[in-house]
Amino acid sequence: MRAHLVGIGGGHPDQITVQAVAKLREVDVFLVADKGSSVGDLAQARAEILRRHVPGEPTVIQVPDPERDRKPGDYGTAVLDWHDARARAYEEVLAQLDPSSTIGFLVWGDPALYDSTIRVVERLGIDFDVTPGISSVSMLAAAHRLVLNRIGGPIVITTGRALLDDVNAGADNVVVMLDGHLTCRSLVGDGRWSIHWGANLGTDDEQLVAGPLDDCIGEIEQVRAQLKAEHGWVMDTYLLRR
Ligand SMILES: C[S@@+](CC[C@H](N)C(=O)[O-])C[C@H]1O[C@@H](n2cnc3c(N)ncnc32)[C@H](O)[C@@H]1O
């Protein structure tokens, strides 16, 4: 048994590489984490990618995603426990399959960036390869026609959870992901930050806002709330620059 972990970009069927399509076509069985009805549009986007790029009726097995402990406490331990639980759920399914099968995992964006699939599949003890995908960071930069780094300078990619610590440590050119609370609100008021924000990038509902953080934050909050009300979910990424 072997697995292909395939980066599928932001969900638009055109935003997948030729190499990724070739890998998808080698797969016998796709395993997808079933995250419930709150992500209906995302499940549809994934189905559309398979419909467009894989001939016939590919076999897709939905694996119920284990609950993650979101109570305050040791975040790192909670995430590792969740990876173990996910691996156990996949193992149960793999035990029912022909041992010569090629398994496929569809990964949003790029598997190397803030995604657990590589860590979970490592726990399964099967041979696997990884095909890169277009990440939300690349989509954000392209949508705003941005170069992410200043000339010769560094760029920090971080999460909403870690943003303020990174800024306090001196980061001044920062891409922020996984920030359901718009942590950048804490930086409003000192007049020194600009923001390039993008939500649901690569989809028909893509939204972009850019300018001084102090001026833009109200519009970002409003657009974010509207997307969430319309779709039940919103995914956003932003560049903050001082
Ligand atoms: C679990 S991470 C997955 C990142 C993914 N592996 C990648 O390469 O973009 C989820 C975060 O990615 C960002 N993201 C994913 N898809 C996005 C999209 N279509 N538009 C904007 N941000 C997106 C958001 O910051 C979201 O909280």
Q: What confidence tier does 74 reach under pLDDT thresholds 50, 70, 90?
A: confident
Cα 8 to ligand 1 centroid, rounded to whole Å = 12
Cα 233 to ligand 1 centroid, rounded to whole Å = 12
Residue-level pLDDT at 242 = 97
Ligand 1 atom index nearest CA of 134: 8
The H or E element spanning position 117 is helix 117-122
Cα 238 to ligand 1 centroid, rounded to whole Å = 10
How far CA 221 is from CA of 39, 136, 184, in Å, comes to 21, 19, 11
Q: Crossing angle of helices 18-26/40-53, nearest 10°?
A: 90
pLDDT tens profile 14-26: 999 999 999 999 9
Residue-level pLDDT at 36 = 64
pLDDT tens profile 144-168: 999 999 999 999 999 999 999 999 9
Q: Is the CB of 104 under 6 A from ligand 1?
A: no
Ligand 1 mutation target, pool 107, 120, 136, most atoms within 8 A of CB: 136
At 186 the three-state DSSP class reads helix
Please give the Cα distance from 42 to 200 (Å, whole number): 10
pLDDT tens profile 86-120: 889 899 989 999 999 999 999 999 999 999 999 99
Residue-level pLDDT at 162 = 97
Domain boundaries, the chain: 2-134, 137-241
Please give the Cα distance from 196 to 9 (Å, whole number): 20
Q: Is the CB of 143 under 6 A from ligand 1?
A: no
Please give the Cα distance from 40 to 232 (Å, whole number): 8
Q: Is the CB of 234 under 6 A from ligand 1?
A: no
Comparing 60-64, 132-136, 175-179, 220-224, the range with the smallest average pLDDT is 60-64
pTM of the model as a whole: 0.92
Query: What is the CATH T-level fold of the domain 2-134, as seen in this structure?
Result: Cobalt-precorrin-4 Transmethylase; domain 1 (3.40.1010)
- If one compares 67 and 113, the residue with the highest pLDDT of the two is 113
Residue-level pLDDT at 77 = 81
In the chain, the percentage of residues whose pLDDT exceeds 90 is 75
Q: Is the CB of 198 under 6 A from ligand 1?
A: yes
What are 167's two structure tokens? 């800024």
pLDDT at position 67 over 80: no
Cα 28 to ligand 1 centroid, rounded to whole Å = 27
Is the domain 137-241 a CATH 3.30.950.10 member? yes
Cα 44 to ligand 1 centroid, rounded to whole Å = 17
Residue-level pLDDT at 78 = 80
Q: Is the CB of 132 under 6 A from ligand 1?
A: no
